Amino acid sequence: MSTTSSAGLSAVLTELGEIVDDLTQCRERAASAFAAEMFFFERVVGVVDRREKERAAQNGSITSASQLAMREVYAEVAAALRLSEWQVARKVSQAWSLTHRFYETLCDASSGQISPNTRS
C-alpha cells in the first residue's frame, strides 16, 4: 500500500490543485448567485411601491399610509423562499443598500471577481 514519496506527493498535489480549482469556481458561482439574489430583492422595493399605488387607487385615496402592500409582497416572497417576513425585509434592505451604494462592487461579485462574506 506504500508508494514512493515523489509519486504520492505528485498525486496529492495534483488532487490538491483540483480541489483548489473546484473550490475557487464554487466561490465564484456563489458570489454570482449572491449578487443575482440581491438584484432580485432590490426589485421587490419597486413591486411594493407599485402595489401600494394600486391599493390606493382601488380604495380611492391618493396615498395609503398602511403597510399592507409591503406585508403582502414580503409574505409572498417569504412563503416562496421559506423565510420569515423579517428575513425578507432584511434582504430587501441589504439589497437596496448594495445596489444603490455599492453597485460596482455588487457587479464585481456578480462576475465572480470578489466573493461576499454573507450571513443569513
Q: Identify the burial level of 41 via C-beta atoms within 10 angstroms of its C-beta, where 0-12 means exposed, 13-18 middle and 19 or more buried.
A: buried
119 assigned to some structural domain: no
The pLDDT tens digits of the residues spanning 35-64 come to 999 999 999 999 999 998 888 888 776 555
pLDDT score of 3: 44
Structural domain boundaries, residue 30? 5-110
59 assigned to some structural domain: yes
116 assigned to some structural domain: no
Percentage, residues of the chain above pLDDT 70? 83
Q: Identify the burial level of 106 via C-beta atoms within 10 angstroms of its C-beta, where 0-12 means exposed, 13-18 middle and 19 or more buried.
A: buried
pLDDT score of 83: 97
115 assigned to some structural domain: no
pLDDT higher than 60, residue 6 = no
Cell 443575482 sits on residue: 36
Query: What is the rounded distance in angstroms from the CA atom of residue 97 to the CA atom of residue 48?
Result: 17
The pLDDT tens digits of the residues spanning 79-89 come to 999 999 999 99
In the chain, the number of structural domains is: 1
